[in-house]
Amino acid sequence: MITESLTIDDIARELGVSKTTVSRSISGKGRISETTRKRVLDFIEKNNYKPNLMARGLAQSRTYNIGWVVPGDSEMTMLFFFQKCMQGVIDAATEADYDILITTVYGHNISGLQRVLDNHKVDGVILGQTLVHDKAIRALKKSGIPFVTIGSTEEKNVVQVDHDHISACRELSYILKMKGIKSAALIGGTEDKVVTQARRRGFEEGMSGVRTEIFMNCEKTEEIERAVEDAVRNKVECIVCEDDRICYAVLGKLKKDGVRIPEEMRVASFYNSALIDEYQPAITSLEYDPKALGTTACRTLLAMIDGQTPVAKQMLGYEVMLKASTL
C-alpha cells in the first residue's frame, strides 16, 4: 500500500501520465479528459494521498499555457524558420499537457507581450527572436516569469538556446576562401537583430585577408537588388547571403540580369530552407534544425516552471552544405 508520503512524481510514474496531468486533476483546472481526471483522483483516494498546501496552491495557480512570442513584422518568407521552431515547441508542450499562446511583437513594440504578462495568461514564455537592445527581455526579467530565448543575448541571467552562428558562418566563409575566392560581398538584414550581427562577425573572421564588401540593413527587395548591382559592378566573385529570404531575392535578381551561377557569380547562403532548397544550381548553404531549437527551448522552460535550474546557454550544431553554386 502506497502511503500519504506519495508525491505528484510518484502518482505520475504509477499511472504513466505527466506531472502536469496529475496537477490538473488535483486543481480541477486545465484541459484534461474526464476519464483521465477520474483515474487520477481514484488513485489518489485509494492511496490516501494528501498534497501539501504549497503543492496544491502551485497546482491551482498554473495556467498550463506557454507563451510563444514571434516577430509580427516578419515577411512571409521568414516564416519557414518560425514555423519549424513552433512545431518543436508544440511537440514538447503537448508531451507535458501544456497549450501554446501565440503573441507577436513589432520590433521594440512589445504591447502584446506586456498584456499577456500583466494578465498572467501564461506560466512561462519562449522568445523566438532576440534584438540588440531587447525591450521584450527586459520586460520578461522585470515580470519574474520563467522565460527562454531562442537566440543569443548580452543581457545577463537569461536562459538561451541558439545555434552557433558565428562558428558556422566563419567555417563556411573560410571554406569559400580556401576554394580560391579572392573577393566576396555579404548582403544582410537589419543590424538590430543579434543573429545578423553574429553572422556578419563569422563572415568577416572567415574571410580575413579577402577583399570584402558589406551591405547591411537590406530588408526590402529593392534594397537587396541594389546591393547585388553594386556587387556585380565591383566585380566580386561571390555573394554571401545572410539568410534564405535575402538569397531568394539575390537569385531572382541575378537571373533577371542574366548573370550565370556559378560561372559569373558564386552564391552562398548562411541559412537554408524550402525557399531556396530546390533552386538549380543547388545553393551552398548552412543547414540548421530550427525544430530542435523549439523542442529544446520548450523542454528547458518546462523544467524551469517545475523549479529546476537550467543550463544557462545551450548551443546546437549545424552542417555546411557545399553545392554547385560555389564550384
Domain housing 302? 65-163+290-319
Enumerate residues 6+ apart whose C-beta is below 8 A from 138. 155
- 260 inside domain: yes
- 3 inside domain: no
**75 and 118 housed in the same domain:** yes
141 pLDDT exceeds 50? Answer: yes
> Tell me, what's the pLDDT at 203?
98
| E-state strands within the chain | 65-71, 99-105, 124-127, 147-150, 159-163, 183-187, 211-215, 238-241, 266-269, 284-287, 313-316, 319-321
- 192 inside domain: yes
**56 and 83 housed in the same domain:** no
Number of domains in the chain: 3
% of residues, the chain, pLDDT over 90 = 74
- 178 inside domain: yes
Report how far residue 79's alpha carbon sits from residue 99's, in angstroms, rounded to the nearest whole number: 21
Cell digits of residue 10: 510518484
pTM of the model: 0.81
Q: What's the pLDDT tens digit per position in 54-86? A: 454 455 578 889 999 998 875 655 678 899 999
By mean pLDDT, which of 20-29, 222-231, 244-253 is the weakest? 20-29
Stretch 93-116: mean pLDDT: 93
* Residue 263 belongs to domain with CATH number: 3.40.50.2300
> Tell me, what's the pLDDT at 20?
80
